[in-house]
Chain A
Amino acid sequence: MSTFLIIAILILGFVITFQIAKASEYVAILRGEEKARKQSNRINGFLLLIFLIVGLIGVYYCNEALKGKLLGESASDHGEKIDMMLYITIILTGIVFVITQVLLFWFAYKYQESDTRKSYYFPHNNKLELIWTVIPAIALTVLVGFGLFYWYKITGDAPKNALVVEITGSQFKWEMRYPGRDGVFGKKYFKEIDEAKSNPLGQIWDDPANHDDIVVTGDMPIVVNKPVKLIINAKDVIHDVGLAHFRMKMDAVPGTPTTMWFTPKFTTAQAKEKWGAEFVYEISCDQMCGKGHYSMRGTITVITQEEFDRWMYSQQPQYYAAFPDRNPANTPAITDSVKVASVNPTAAGTTLMN
């Protein structure tokens, strides 16, 4: 019902506007077209000036109203650099914005048609043109310089001590894999994927490095103040690991693993203190991936090293989910050591070496 009402009102407004517009055309002819034209010229010139003033106030007001809804301080070290670049660019472009818009609308208002003025025949001026080629070029060079300096830092190699986590996107969820005690990810092959047999990532069980790898879904614990390097995969279509609070983002492409790294600055607990109790670090999928794209959500929990170690210790390797009978917890204690040793000699070796 209300829909029809709105449509009826729209149509009515439409008809009225049209009648007025038509009438004004007749009136113009009656009063003399030239005179009517000059009058509408003055009105529009004035409106241009008003638009400029109200517009600039609007820009200010919009900022006041919305700046509180932006992200707070960056939660990663890379993010600080990105924010810094962002502020420099906002200031620089902001200045250019105000100057050019003021000139545009002010000129339009000031030089509106008038009987007393003749246009100034001014077809070109090499000096002026040179100036406004060179100045933007210099300003842009500065921005590029800063930008690329940070760009190389951010996209450079991750530090050696980084925590490495593998994250895999698929319609419409995130799965993470940790390398386990050996610090090595086991090999994968997509044709091994078998969700029914608890092998969602296609781990090759013949590779002993897989036997202690831990797979979790949805939430990714990482360590505060310790660089984390993500190895990013996708199973079906392109996704994207978007971390707004850390200001990081990288596509997940099936068949082509990508990487990114950063260092989180605040634990989730600290962040909750800063930004409120509901705060969570969210992973948003930022690349169109199908009908559930808008809901492809993961989370990150940033904790201390100690908490992380405890969490890690409590996890079961995916291997045991795939082969419950090989889980020492499920078999009598006596055969335990024998079994693990016989199935998994290398893993045991690596552990020892660590």
Chain B
Amino acid sequence: MSNEVNPNIHSTETSHADLHDEHHVHHHKETFITKYVFSQDHKMIAKQFLATGIIWAIIGGLFSVLFRLQLGYPDETFPILETFFGRNAEGGRIQPEFYYSLVTMHGTVLIFFVLTAGLSGTFANFLIPLQIGARDMASPFLNMLSYWFFFAASVVMLSSLFVQTGPASGGWTVYPPLSALGQASEGSKIGMDLWLISMALFVVSSLLGGLNYITTILNMRTKGMSMTRMPLTIWALFFTAVLGVLSFPVLLSGFILLLFDRHLGTSFYLSDIYVNGQILPNEGGSAILYQHLFWFLGHPEVYIIALPAMGLTSEILSVNSRKPIFGYMAMIGSLFAITILAFLVWAHHMFVTGLNPFLGSVFVLLTLLIAVPSAIKVFNWLTTIWRGNIRFTPATLFAIGFVSVFISGGLTGIFLGNSTIDIHLHDTKFVVAHFHLVMGVSSMFGMLAGIYHWFPKMFGRYMNNTLGYIHFWVTITGAYLIFWPMHYEGLAGVPRRYLDLSGWTSFNQFTELNKFITIVSIVVFAVQLMFVFNYFYSMFKGRKLTTTNPWGANTLEWTTPINPGHGNWTGEIPEVHRWPYDYSKDGREFIPQTEKVGEDESQH
């Protein structure tokens, strides 16, 4: 059975071939700049997103190690910190304002720069054209702009770390009035403006990207690639883009009003404020309005992070179980349901803000409703591996790990979505444990699975497997050791964003546990560095690919040459004849999408 594209497949369809003739060979000279910097090739842009995302992940992870040092060892001094951070860590102790900056930057960076830009940016760019059979995005130029807006956002955010009053420090949600008033906090001065500017640039980047992804998926599928023959990765990335396009503008509007309140004397969010000995003139604003605008993005954002990981997991589990994904249509249906419901649950973050209790109860219903499609997905993944013939590549392991932590974190969502229980658990460490498992760790796992799986397609080389296995086992063990016991702190009422519990009689019983968690986080962080090393090392020195289709997969990206040029296929774009999940059908291990349906093939 041949895995190569059959160059004769379209020999009879000359008209179709003509259409693409102009793309076949790329004659224009590529300089270093156009190839690696201002590239319009979707594959290169994907790699740029990934590399930038990895750098941000190291920074964001390092921040968590720093504030974990404070949480684990509140009484100890670390002179080395003073060497690096000067008065922010006076006497080797992390100062409160600095702690809050670290937490805020950690959250912002990991959510937006790593798991939104780094995850969607990488895999939407890389996989959409390759898996639907297109030579590039609908607009390669806007696609390039999307990366460079992200780059600009990164530069601004990075620069905010170095201003004198420090970066934003009000938490990644930057609730006003705290974030609106420089008098209330050092981080709400210039650092907050830079944060808002950076996020505005980020929104532009994500809109340019998202519109491009949607257009490409809807219009540029190759012959035979009907919507229901698309791999689930593409479906997931499609819904992710829809979520982003519909919700990011609302966030931007919230930010713009915040900028007005900060600089133009408006009172959208401000009313009745006496701060730092000063009476402000503002009256009539509502601080809660901001929270509605924020969470109208903020909740979909959780799914913007989770859906791509779900798509990658579905694909990887199916390929490596040598079995079709179970319930393809149900998987699409549940993605669709999640997308719709994601817009209808935002106020579950606001049960204790004084929200009308009746309104609250509506949001309880909708929130628990969204658990149903999530449950369907989990059961479908379980059935996918059931009676499979599973190959444990590092990618498979991370995909299995994804399902495990997604279950663990998803179940605690049922606690928090039930407003009655949320009264007690809101804004405690329980929430921190919950969202790290369900969105932080799980999406990280999805992303890592994707990197291990598609690395050979990206660079024509393999990553080192042994390091991959070590990476997986340490990371999943560490993730559970860090976040499982953290639920108990939350159940005991320990509030989040508390940097020292020694002043409290109710919360000071967790010193040992906090030390333990800190040590584990340092180990986990070190192992991530090992992964980063493996990534960059294998890029240049990894074992070379000798076959175009190393995993025996059905999807189109594996029909391209080992190192595809701009345009992806050297010949004709292949035509698609079937769905992507014909694994182990009729006694054949896999049947690529490009193969015509046989006369006597069984139906499903």
- CB contact list, B263-306 vs A, under 8 A: 270-277, 279, 283, 285-288
Q: Residue A128 at the B interface, CB < 8 A?
A: yes
Write out the residue numbers on chain B whose beta carbons fall within 8 Å of the beta carbon of A287: 175, 427
Q: What's the dominant secondary structure at chain A's contact region?
A: helix
Contact of A104 among B277, B321, B382, B391 (CB under 8 A): B382
Closest-CB distance, A1 to chain B (whole angstroms): 9
Q: Is the CB of A144 within 8 A of B275?
A: no
- CB contact list, A109-164 vs B, under 8 A: 111-114, 117-125, 128-129, 132-133, 136-137, 140, 143-144, 147-148, 150-152, 154-156
Q: Is the CB of B275 within 8 A of A151?
A: no
Contact of A40 among B408, B465, B499, B543 (CB under 8 A): B465
* A17-B527 Cα distance, complex, nearest whole Å: 11
* A284-B428 Cα distance, complex, nearest whole Å: 11
Number of B residues contacting the other chain (C-beta, 8 Å)?
130
Interface centre among B176, B287, B408 (most CB of A within 10 A): B287
Q: Is the CB of A119 within 8 A of B321?
A: yes
A233-274: CB near B (< 8 Å → 1, else 0) gives: 001111010101101111101111011000000000000000
Q: Is the CB of A111 within 8 A of B464?
A: no
Nearest neighbor of B83 in chain A, beta-carbon distance: A3
Q: Is the CB of A120 within 8 A of B387?
A: yes
Nearest neighbor of A251 in chain B, beta-carbon distance: B353
Q: Is the CB of B324 within 8 A of A122?
A: yes
Write out the residue numbers on chain B whose beta carbons fall within 8 Å of the beta carbon of A341: none
Q: Is the CB of B404 within 8 A of A104?
A: yes
* A105-B72 Cα distance, complex, nearest whole Å: 32
B453-486: CB near A (< 8 Å → 1, else 0) gives: 0000000000011110110010011001000110
Q: Residue B55 at the A interface, CB < 8 A?
A: no
Q: Residue A21 at the B interface, CB < 8 A?
A: yes
Contact of A236 among B169, B173, B275, B604 (CB under 8 A): B275
* A125-B268 Cα distance, complex, nearest whole Å: 53
Q: Is the CB of B411 within 8 A of A96?
A: yes
Nearest neighbor of B602 in chain A, beta-carbon distance: A121
Q: Is the CB of B184 within 8 A of A254?
A: no
Q: Which of B3-11, B130-138, B141-149, B488-496 contacts A (4 or more CB under 8 A)?
A: B488-496
Q: Is the CB of A47 within 8 A of B473?
A: yes
* A180-B538 Cα distance, complex, nearest whole Å: 75
Q: Is the CB of B466 within 8 A of A20?
A: yes
Contact of A123 among B80, B176, B324, B378 (CB under 8 A): B324
Write out the residue numbers on chain A whose beta carbons fall within 8 Å of the beta carbon of B411: 93, 96-97
* A100-B465 Cα distance, complex, nearest whole Å: 28
Known: A104-B407, A286-B426. A45 touches B392 (CB 8 A): yes
Q: Is the CB of B273 within 8 A of A190?
A: yes
* A232-B390 Cα distance, complex, nearest whole Å: 57
Write out the residue numbers on chain B whose beta carbons fall within 8 Å of the beta carbon of A89: 414-415, 418, 421
Known: A66-B485, A120-B323. A249 touches B427 (CB 8 A): yes
Q: Is the CB of B354 within 8 A of A250?
A: yes
Q: Is the CB of A237 within 8 A of B178?
A: yes
Contact of A255 among B272, B414, B585 (CB under 8 A): B272
Q: Residue A330 at the B interface, CB < 8 A?
A: no
- CB contact list, B336-365 vs A, under 8 A: 352-354, 357, 360-361, 364-365
Number of chain A interface residues as a range? 35 or more
- CB contact list, B549-604 vs A, under 8 A: 581, 583-587, 604
Contact of A154 among B390, B391, B423 (CB under 8 A): B423
Q: Is the CB of A25 within 8 A of B466?
A: yes
Q: Is the CB of B326 within 8 A of A122?
A: yes
- CB contact list, A281-300 vs B, under 8 A: 282, 284-295, 297
Q: Is the CB of A18 within 8 A of B467?
A: yes
A1-12: CB near B (< 8 Å → 1, else 0) gives: 001000000100
Write out the residue numbers on chain B whose beta carbons fall within 8 Å of the beta carbon of A58: 480, 484
Nearest neighbor of A281 in chain B, beta-carbon distance: B506
Q: Is the CB of A202 within 8 A of B274?
A: yes
Q: Residue A316 at the B interface, CB < 8 A?
A: no
* A148-B533 Cα distance, complex, nearest whole Å: 51
Nearest neighbor of A276 in chain B, beta-carbon distance: B505
Closest-CB distance, B364 to chain A (whole angstroms): 6
Q: Residue B197 at the A interface, CB < 8 A?
A: no
Q: Residue A315 at the B interface, CB < 8 A?
A: no
* A296-B453 Cα distance, complex, nearest whole Å: 48
- CB contact list, A58-104 vs B, under 8 A: 58-59, 62, 66-67, 69-71, 79, 81-82, 85-86, 89, 93, 96-97, 100-101, 103-104
Write out the residue numbers on chain B whose beta carbons fall within 8 Å of the beta carbon of A251: 352-354
* A242-B375 Cα distance, complex, nearest whole Å: 33
* A140-B414 Cα distance, complex, nearest whole Å: 8
Q: Residue A24 at the B interface, CB < 8 A?
A: yes
* A248-B365 Cα distance, complex, nearest whole Å: 21
Q: Which of B119-127, B152-160, B233-241, B366-374 contacts A (4 or more CB under 8 A)?
A: B366-374
* A124-B581 Cα distance, complex, nearest whole Å: 12
Write out the residue numbers on chain B whose beta carbons fall within 8 Å of the beta carbon of A258: 353-354
Q: Could you pull out 20 A-B pairs where Cβ atoms are within 8 angstroms?
A: A14-B526, A14-B529, A37-B391, A40-B465, A70-B492, A85-B421, A89-B414, A93-B414, A107-B386, A119-B323, A119-B583, A121-B323, A123-B328, A133-B372, A137-B372, A140-B368, A237-B181, A237-B275, A247-B424, A258-B353
Given contacts A86-B491, A101-B404, A129-B327, 17 further A-B contacts (CB under 8 A): A21-B467, A55-B480, A119-B387, A121-B584, A136-B371, A144-B365, A144-B418, A147-B420, A148-B420, A154-B420, A237-B184, A238-B178, A249-B423, A250-B354, A255-B271, A284-B495, A284-B504
Report which B residues bind A (CB closer than 8 A): 78, 80, 96-97, 100, 169-171, 173, 175-178, 181, 184-186, 270-277, 279, 283, 285-288, 321-330, 352-354, 357, 360-361, 364-365, 368-369, 371-372, 375-376, 378-380, 382-383, 385-392, 397, 400, 403-404, 407-408, 411-412, 414-415, 418-421, 423-424, 426-428, 464-467, 469-470, 473, 476-477, 480, 484-485, 488, 491-493, 495, 497-501, 503-507, 509-510, 513, 526, 529-530, 533-534, 543, 581, 583-587, 604
| 9 nearest CB pairs, A to B | A244-B493, A255-B271, A258-B354, A119-B584, A155-B357, A21-B466, A236-B275, A44-B392, A120-B387
